[in-house]
Amino acid sequence: MQARLLETRELAPGVRHFEFDLPGIDRFGFVPGQFMSMTAGIHGDEITRAYSIASPPEGNRFALCLNEVEGGRFSPHLFSLVPGDQVTCQGPYGAFIFRRPISDSILVATGTGIAPFRSMLFDRLPQEPERRFTLIFGVRYEHALLYREDWEALARQYPNFDFRPTLTRPAPNWAGAQGRVQGHVLEALGDRRDMDIYICGLKEMVNDVRALLKEKGVDRKRIIYERYD
Ligand SMILES: Cc1cc2nc3c(=O)[nH]c(=O)nc-3n(C[C@H](O)[C@H](O)[C@H](O)COP(=O)(O)OP(=O)(O)OC[C@H]3O[C@@H](n4cnc5c(N)ncnc54)[C@H](O)[C@@H]3O)c2cc1C
């Protein structure tokens, strides 16, 4: 398939939201949480990378949330695209999706690991008024809270959704949570062992959170994760 870039906007320094459509396709079906596989020829090599879909299903469109990795092989190529450019893609793929039946859930992300949760929450919150969803989002700086206005709007709209941002390098005027996501996950979990916990981001964080949860006796079937590296 060819995806055509429609527009991009900056979310934070080095991180952009990309909107694509799929010309010739009426409806692009995927389960929120899944990813696309993007391919391009770069300096003579064919390179493929996975990217979580950051938007709920809507017509033939999908969005990505991309970090430009310094010295990376593929992400700088995506950042060089301009609206109208096409990129080869395949998908959707992946099983990082809400388990059914949906339980009260804790969603844990750092950085661009937030992408699949944007798709999953926009899709599910309107359908699941009886379930509680807690999003724990860790970044270094306040300005790196990707899609902050979306999370705050969802939290106002849905009383069963709790947005808990945490900063590792807060400015002195930051009144919210501080430190890595790890501590906040345990706080959100409390004594409950009947919740599903979804984790997305780089492997160090994902592995750390998984180890902590296992130590606390959380059934591994309730720990669902996606590692970006
Ligand atoms: C299932 C899946 C979904 C993914 N979804 C996304 C997504 O939604 N957005 C996204 O930006 N990336 C995502 N990635 C990572 C992406 O596939 C690439 O690894 C990333 O763009 C770097 O590729 P590159 O060729 O530029 O760097 P490479 O030349 O492959 O260099 C790899 C380096 O980049 C680091 N890295 C990988 N991903 C990131 C990241 N997101 N932020 C910071 N450092 C990173 C790795 O730790 C490693 O040090 C996903 C990966 C997987 C497996």
What local confidence, expressed as pLDDT, does residue 81 receive? 97
Question: Residue 10 has what DSSP assignment?
Answer: E
Strand, coil or helix: 186: helix
What local confidence, expressed as pLDDT, does residue 177 receive? 97
What local confidence, expressed as pLDDT, does residue 28 receive? 98
| Ligand 1, pocket-test mutation among 48, 110, 117, 229, most atoms within 8 A of CB | 229
Pairing of strands 61-67, 45-52: unpaired
Residue 64: both structure tokens together:
């990505």
Question: How far apart are the CA of 229 and the centre of ligand 1, in A?
Answer: 6
Among protein residues, the one with the nearest Cα to ligand 1's atom 53 is: 228
Among protein residues, the one with the nearest Cα to ligand 1's atom 18 is: 49
Question: Which are the contacts of 92, defined by CB distance < 8 A and separation ≥ 6?
Answer: 29, 30, 31, 34, 35, 36, 53
What local confidence, expressed as pLDDT, does residue 80 receive? 96
The tens digit of pLDDT for each residue in 34-75 reads 999 999 999 899 999 999 999 999 999 999 999 999 999 999
Average pLDDT, the chain: 97
What local confidence, expressed as pLDDT, does residue 33 receive? 98
The tens digit of pLDDT for each residue in 166-176 reads 999 999 999 99
| Ligand 1, pocket-test mutation among 69, 78, 90, most atoms within 8 A of CB | 69
Q: Which residues of the chain have pLDDT under 70?
A: none
Ligand 1 interacting residues, C-beta cut-off 6 A: 35, 49-52, 64-67, 69, 72-75, 94, 111-112, 115, 202, 226, 228-229
Question: How far apart are the CA of 205 and the centre of ligand 1, in A?
Answer: 14
Query: Strands, E, within the chain: which ranges?
Result: 2-12, 15-21, 35-42, 45-52, 61-67, 86-93, 105-110, 133-139, 161-167, 177-178, 196-201, 223-227
What local confidence, expressed as pLDDT, does residue 35 receive? 98
Question: How far apart are the CA of 90 and the centre of ligand 1, in A?
Answer: 17
Among protein residues, the one with the nearest Cα to ligand 1's atom 38 is: 228
What local confidence, expressed as pLDDT, does residue 143 receive? 97
Question: How far apart are the CA of 158 and the centre of ligand 1, in A?
Answer: 31
